[in-house]
Structure 1
Amino acid sequence: MSDSPTTASYFNIFITGQLEAMEFPLGPNAAEVFCRYEVVYGPDWELVSGVQSGISQTASNRSGYFKDKIIFNLPLEWTFKSTTPFGWPQLIVCIYGKTRWGAETSLGYSRINLPVFGSNDNPIVTPILCPQNSNMVSELASWITGRNPELKDPKALLSNGKLKGISAESYGEVVFKLATILRGTDRLGYDWG
């Protein structure tokens, strides 16, 4: 029996942190806000632990000033295994709120490339993108129903080609604090730093 050294054919990445808060410059257009999130990654990646998608609790800044941050402190944690950096994990956050009639409506979308390295000392701030109505009829229907335009598939945010013809404006931001630990990248010849 030969004792040949085993070489790793993959590396691991461990990401932990939280979706800390959301800020809206003139307050959210809803009494309560919650979000759905999904982590998306390439075909060579495997999610070893953690949940691929989830939903947050509802949160509000009603007890304070309308411009105050809406605090979520939503814990996030994933472990991935991959052979290549192609298809690096990204996080899509869909933000929703309740209208004055109690209906759920979209408040916007945010996306982030999960960090390659770093600690959660420095917050990562991403804009909230709000799709806009394409014409006056849809604008009127949106005003009557109290529902904002939504993307059929939020994963379209990950591909510039799929965003053709969509107009959106930035309104607010999402604050993340994430830390990353890499293992096995040196053995594969990857040097990020």
Structure 2
Amino acid sequence: MLSNKPKQTQGMNQQGYDDDEQDNQGGNNQQNVNIDQLKNEALKKIDPQNLEPSYMYLSVSGVIESGYCNDENTLQIDYSIVCGEDWEFKDSLGQPRGISQKSSSHSLQSQDIVFNFPFQTTLATTSIYGWPQLILKVKGPDFFGRSVIKGYGSVHFPTQPGTHERTVRIYKPIPMSLFGGFFGFLDGKQAEYTEADKVIARGEGRDVTRVKSVGYVKVRFEVMKRNFQNFGYSY
């Protein structure tokens, strides 16, 4: 008899990109993301008493909620935040990035796989050129159980304060030839971008690649801004 099983997540790791991706099989408690807690932490970081008036400040917290990719049953999200040269990350030494737990779904009611994976950053700038983007890489096992890229996606941070929902379309590069696709399938090196952040965020080299749509990822944002009006921007 068929039965509906809730979507399951296996652990969580937000300490940055790790080549040795871990699948925590023993995770018993699915962690629920408290967006209010993330918002309060972000508010502390942009306290007007601690801000220099010569900069604009953007604080964004959010959750990578769920996604779907080509009928895959197990997926993992690798994210990074990319912005222009005039922007400075105030709460990290380098580019914020993270990798989610491996999540699976066996539900008969929905095709979405739930991640509930949080992210947060605070930036300062004197120019809005190079508005920050969230870059997503969707990974999953291939036929032989090896972790491979299933698709890419990107979305700009919302420009208005408040809560926002976004659906990020996921796409995948198409091999240049059938032989290339076949041999890539055998050795676990399918068509992918070698410098994904540059290609996705800046469009470098996109004009010579072909892609196909493979799914989507749902993301929720909580946006706060300071001092933008001092630079002539209204919101």
TM-score (normalizing by structure 1): 0.86
Match of 2:152 among 109, 112, 115: 109
Aligned to 2:210: 167
Task: Point out where structure 2 has 5 or more consecutive residues left out of the alignment.
Answer: 1-51
Equivalent-residue separation in structure 2 for 1:35 and 1:15 (angstroms): 19
* 8 Å CA contact 2:56, 2:227 repeated in 1: yes
* 8 Å CA contact 1:18, 1:178 repeated in 2: yes
Match of 1:137 among 176, 179, 196: 179
* 8 Å CA contact 2:82, 2:201 repeated in 1: no
Q: What is the deviation of 1:161? A: 4.2
Aligned to 1:3: none
Q: State yes or no: 1:124 paired with 2:166.
A: yes
Q: State yes or no: 1:151 paired with 2:193.
A: yes
* 8 Å CA contact 1:117, 1:179 repeated in 2: no
Could you give the per-residue CA deviations for residues 85-113 of structure 1, whole angstroms, max 9, x where no partner exists? 01111111111111232211110001011
RMSD value over aligned CA atoms? 1.9
Aligned to 2:139: 96
| Letter matched to residue 54 of structure 2 | S
Q: Percent identity?
A: 23
- Count of paired positions: 181
Q: What is the deviation of 1:8? A: 1.9
* 8 Å CA contact 1:107, 1:148 repeated in 2: no
* 8 Å CA contact 1:23, 1:67 repeated in 2: no
Could you give the per-residue CA deviations for residues 29-73 of structure 1, whole angstroms, max 9, x where no partner exists? xx4211211101111111112561111110011x21395210001
Task: Point out where structure 1 has 5 or more consecutive residues left out of the alignment.
Answer: 1-6
TM-score (normalizing by structure 2): 0.71
Greater helix share, structure number: 2
Q: What is the deviation of 1:118? A: 3.9
Q: State yes or no: 1:49 paired with 2:94.
A: no
Q: What is the deviation of 1:143? A: 3.6
| Letter matched to residue 184 of structure 1 | N
Q: What is the deviation of 1:149? A: 1.2
* 8 Å CA contact 2:56, 2:125 repeated in 1: yes
Aligned to 2:82: 40
| Letter matched to residue 126 of structure 1 | V
| Letter matched to residue 33 of structure 1 | L
Equivalent-residue separation in structure 2 for 1:82 and 1:57 (angstroms): 32
Equivalent-residue separation in structure 1 for 2:232 and 2:177 (angstroms): 52
Aligned to 1:15: 60
Could you give the per-residue CA deviations for residues 104-144 of structure 1, whole angstroms, max 9, x where no partner exists? 11100010111111433x42001001111111211221343
* 8 Å CA contact 1:110, 1:129 repeated in 2: yes
| Letter matched to residue 52 of structure 1 | P
Equivalent-residue separation in structure 2 for 1:146 and 1:67 (angstroms): 29
* 8 Å CA contact 2:133, 2:155 repeated in 1: yes
Structure 1 102/66 Cα, relative in aligned 2: closer, same or farther at 3 Å?
Answer: farther
| Letter matched to residue 8 of structure 1 | P
Aligned to 2:226: 183
